[in-house]
Structure 1
Amino acid sequence: MLARDDIIAALGAAMADLQAAIDADDQALADRLGVHRTDLRCLDLVFRHGPLPAGRLARMLGLTPGSVTALVDRLAKADYVRRMPDPTHGRRVLIVPTDRAARIVTELLGTRLAEAHAEVADFSNTELDAIVRFLRSAADRHERSAAQLRGQS
């Protein structure tokens, strides 16, 4: 069994390797879809959080409303998102993924998701809970760091 310091060092190295692998994978996916990385981030948010108003997307992406308009225009032209009226707000529109985008993402990521589901079967509920707590803590830490680097409180 490794000493605690060695395990923590191995965890740090594994996190760095994971971050680099995710970065490379995101770039490859953006290239495959023919979009910018920020466009890919937008698609991710729309898929994960459901229909979103452009203003909220702008805040989530750290962009100006005008930049998000141009980004959504690009994604709409590529048939990855569409605008739909917000049923709860007369003048607002929501950004939603298209059926084409859902089909493409499922085709490209389906095998990876199946592999991930198979891998987590080897972990106990206690281990999975610990992994979730660690990943959420890491995500919070990175979000705080990003805000600090951007000069926000």
Structure 2
Amino acid sequence: MSDREAVTAALGAAMADLQAAIDADDQALADHLGVHRTDLRCLDLVFRHGPLPSGRLAGMLGLTPGSMTALVDRLVKAGYARRAPDPAHGRRVLVTPTEQAVRIVTDSLRDRLAEAHAELENFSDAELDAIVRFLRSATDRHERAAARLRGTGHRDRHR
């Protein structure tokens, strides 16, 4: 095996390990908050993108309107989200995180974010740029693959 092949294989293994660690971390945070994983994904979207209409969130999460309503109801009942009128559209409602949710998530992530920022100091700007390019490319590749799988109409992945 060439050095390039060995590094590429190590990168693949590291990505798989990272994906598993993120998955476990997400589940632990969802359990800590007492919500479903999809509820946590919804919170993540409104944290990163700001208040969003339920319909747009449903599309981003791959949910039906009824499932999205139930999800928002759960988050509102738990005190993590609220419905707010959309100032740009009279009949539309936006889903936004509550101050309680912001506080809990900020407190939960503060230490790990500080640790990650400290680790980034070990990389040059060029290395960080390469990492960002790779991660964006990987994200795009996975989003395209997911769209292709959704387009096949196959619901049973374990035939």
Relative to the length of structure 2, the TM-score reads 0.93
**Alignment gaps of 5+ in structure 2:** 153-159
- CA distance in structure 1 between the aligned counterparts of 2:66 and 2:124, rounded to whole angstroms: 47
1:67 and 1:131 mapped to 2: Cα distance? 36
Counterpart of 1:118? Answer: 118
Structure 2 Cα separation of the partners of residues 29 and 88 of structure 1: 33
| One-letter amino acid of the structure 1 residue matched with residue 48 of structure 2 | R
1:58 Cα deviation after fit: 0.5
2:10 and 2:116 mapped to 1: Cα distance? 21
Are positions 1:31 and 2:58 aligned together? Answer: no
Question: Structure 1 CA distance, aligned partners of 2:74 and 2:9?
Answer: 42
1:137-152 pair list within 5 angstroms: 137-151=137-151
Task: Specify the alignment match of 2:16 in structure 1.
Answer: 16
Amino acid at match of 1:76: V
Say which SS state the counterpart of residue 63 (structure 1) adopts: coil
Counterpart in the other structure of 2:93? 93
The amino acid that maps onto 2:95 is I
**Matched AA of 2:81:** V
Q: 1:51, CA displacement in angstroms?
A: 0.5
Q: Percent identity, aligned pairs only?
A: 78
SS at match of 2:151: coil
TM alignment of 1:125-144, pairs within 5 A: 125-144=125-144
Q: Distance in 1 between matches of 2:94 and 2:32?
A: 26
Q: Distance in 2 between matches of 1:85 and 1:121?
A: 42
* Cα shift at 1:48: 0.3
Runs of 4+ in 1 over 6 A off after TM superposition: none
Q: Whole-Å Cα distance in 1 between the matches of residues 98 and 122 of structure 2?
A: 35
Two-structure CA RMSD over aligned residues (Å)? 0.9
C-alpha deviation, 1:4, in angstroms: 0.5
Alignment match, 2:6: 6
Structure 1: runs of 5 or more not aligned:
none
